[in-house]
Structure 1
Amino acid sequence: MNPRHHLDPTTVLGFATGTLAAEMSVVAAAHLEACAHCRQHLRSAERVGGLLLEQQLSPPSAEDRQAALRQTMLERLDTAAPAGGVHDDTVVRSAAGHDPDQLPAALAPHFGTSYRSLKWRWMAPGVHCIRAPAHPSLIMLKIAPGKCLPMHSHGNSELTQILRGAYDDSLGHFAPGDVADLDSDVEHQPVTTPGVACICVSALDAPLVFSGWFARKLQQVFKL
């Protein structure tokens, strides 16, 4: 698995510092299990987080100094080199002997350990979902092959990790291991690829914004 779509540097920073929302952290952790590139960014963020902590323990500084420090941190994250096969055992399981029926470890506390045990709920024709009991805005979706989802934008942020299958939208092709780290400026209409159902896990920190009336009716029922 070689993901081509990665976490935004600010998402990595939030994960490293523990300021990312709980639902977003679950999806970010699932991506980190599959992505050496983002694990390298995470290590950089943790180092910069240490510098920020030292800065907080120092005598108070001006706001412009804090802003400059944050900008330096983001630049370091942007220029961090991809990892060369080094793994962090706290977030990564070995690929050797991996059971293809096993869900990512980060998802197990919320959805169980295997795909076969998932109990899907009908949402719309060709679309099924499971909502994490403790986190209503953490949702797993199974979308039939060749399905065109309604056009929508985002009230704030959406983080989606592709687990099986794939989809295409205006941002590109998203396959297993890829993550869509989206904000309110993005409007898209995912279309799942033929052959295999697309299974993904999503976290939202605000409701989606649908342009079609039918999708808006479903949104009222399923609280998306």
Structure 2
Amino acid sequence: MNPHHHLHESTLMSYAAGALQAPLSIVAGVHLEQCPHCRKRLREAEAVGSALLEQTQPVLEEARRETLRAAILAQLMEPSTTAMPEQPPERPLPPERPQADPEYLPASLHPYFGDSLGSLRWRWMAPGVHCIRAKQMPSLIMLKIAPGKCLPMHSHGRSELTQILRGSYNDALGLFAPGDVADLDGDVEHQPVTAPGVPCICVSALDAPLVFSGWLARKVQRFVKL
């Protein structure tokens, strides 16, 4: 698998810093499982972050010493103290490559959709469009779109990440095939058209509702909650 559409630099930096919203971070993790190029870029981003942290370390150490000194003085003055907060656990990196089984889902999706496409129970959303929402995270959505389907023209309230798992689609940005990720913001307006032959299966994360151009799509949006 050799993806041609990759994570934006700002998305990758936010992922490295643990600053992406959870649904977006999950989809970014799916792409990283399937994209050696972005895994390399992630390691570079983490190296840059580590270097910046080392440069600020003396200042941080001095601030930490002052905090500890104040805590010790507080303990001497008053028996009851508040425990210092624990550091969050380190977030494991996604595995470097997916399983060879064509039905196998990327590991980042297992807690939300299971490990196999064959076990998914799709729900009708619109003619030619079926979906599954993650129960723990409604803005994380798996979509199955029929071949040759033209979706309504729309833009995005803020950010959207869509990772292609099976099939493909075309829009103004080009062809998106398995392994590709669409990293979109509010400036992008597009109308995906799925390729003939097989359904397009993808996983998407939104941090705001879609903005549809047509009045009919806007009316339907209230029911499908996209």
> TM-score per shorter chain, which class?
0.7 to 0.9
Contact in 1 for aligned 2:34/2:97 (Cα 8 Å) = no
Secondary structure of the structure 2 residue equivalent to 1:209 = strand
1:92 matched to 2:95? The reply is yes
Q: Could you tell me how far 1:54 is from its partner in structure 2?
A: 2.7
Contact in 1 for aligned 2:36/2:96 (Cα 8 Å) = no
In structure 1, what is the equivalent of residue 85 of structure 2?
none
Q: Could you tell me how far 1:162 is from its partner in structure 2?
A: 0.2
In structure 1, what is the equivalent of residue 203 of structure 2?
201
The CA distance in 2 between the partners of 1:38 and 1:94, in whole Å, is: 12
Q: Could you tell me how far 1:32 is from its partner in structure 2?
A: 0.5
Unaligned runs of 5+ in 2: 61-91
Q: Which runs of 4+ in 1 moved over 6 A?
A: none
Contact in 1 for aligned 2:142/2:204 (Cα 8 Å) = yes
TM-score (norm 1): 0.83
Of 119, 124, 127, which residue of structure 2 is paired with 1:125?
Answer: 127
The CA distance in 2 between the partners of 1:58 and 1:150, in whole Å, is: 54
Q: Could you tell me how far 1:53 is from its partner in structure 2?
A: 2.3
Of 182, 185, 196, which residue of structure 1 is paired with 2:184?
Answer: 182
The code of the aligned residue for 1:115 comes to: L
In structure 2, what is the equivalent of residue 48 of structure 1?
48
In structure 1, what is the equivalent of residue 112 of structure 2?
110
The CA distance in 2 between the partners of 1:170 and 1:221, in whole Å, is: 27
The CA distance in 2 between the partners of 1:6 and 1:197, in whole Å, is: 22
Distance 1:56 1:215, change over 3 A: farther
Contact in 1 for aligned 2:148/2:194 (Cα 8 Å) = yes
Q: Could you tell me how far 1:52 is from its partner in structure 2?
A: 2.9
Structure 1 vs Structure 2: percent identity of aligned residues? Answer: 68
Max Rg structure = 2
TM-score (norm 2): 0.83
The C-alpha deviation readout for 1:27-75, integer Å capped at 9, x for no partner, is: 0000001100000000001111112323443449xxxxxxxxxxxxxxx
Secondary structure of the structure 2 residue equivalent to 1:181 = strand
The CA distance in 1 between the partners of 2:56 and 2:153, in whole Å, is: 44
The code of the aligned residue for 2:220 comes to: L
Contact in 1 for aligned 2:33/2:97 (Cα 8 Å) = no
In structure 1, what is the equivalent of residue 88 of structure 2?
none
The CA distance in 2 between the partners of 1:178 and 1:185, in whole Å, is: 20
The CA distance in 2 between the partners of 1:158 and 1:112, in whole Å, is: 22
* Number of residue equivalences: 195
Secondary structure of the structure 2 residue equivalent to 1:116 = helix
In structure 1, what is the equivalent of residue 152 of structure 2?
150
Secondary structure of the structure 2 residue equivalent to 1:136 = strand
Q: Could you tell me how far 1:217 is from its partner in structure 2?
A: 1.6
In structure 1, what is the equivalent of residue 2 of structure 2?
2
The CA distance in 2 between the partners of 1:126 and 1:99, in whole Å, is: 26
The code of the aligned residue for 1:92 comes to: P
Secondary structure of the structure 1 residue equivalent to 2:204 = strand
The CA distance in 1 between the partners of 2:199 and 2:23, in whole Å, is: 23
In structure 2, what is the equivalent of residue 21 of structure 1?
21
The C-alpha deviation readout for 1:125-175, integer Å capped at 9, x for no partner, is: 000000111111110100000000000000000000000000000000000
Secondary structure of the structure 1 residue equivalent to 2:119 = coil
Secondary structure of the structure 2 residue equivalent to 1:107 = helix
The code of the aligned residue for 1:107 comes to: L
* Higher alpha-carbon deviation: 9-18 or 162-171: 9-18
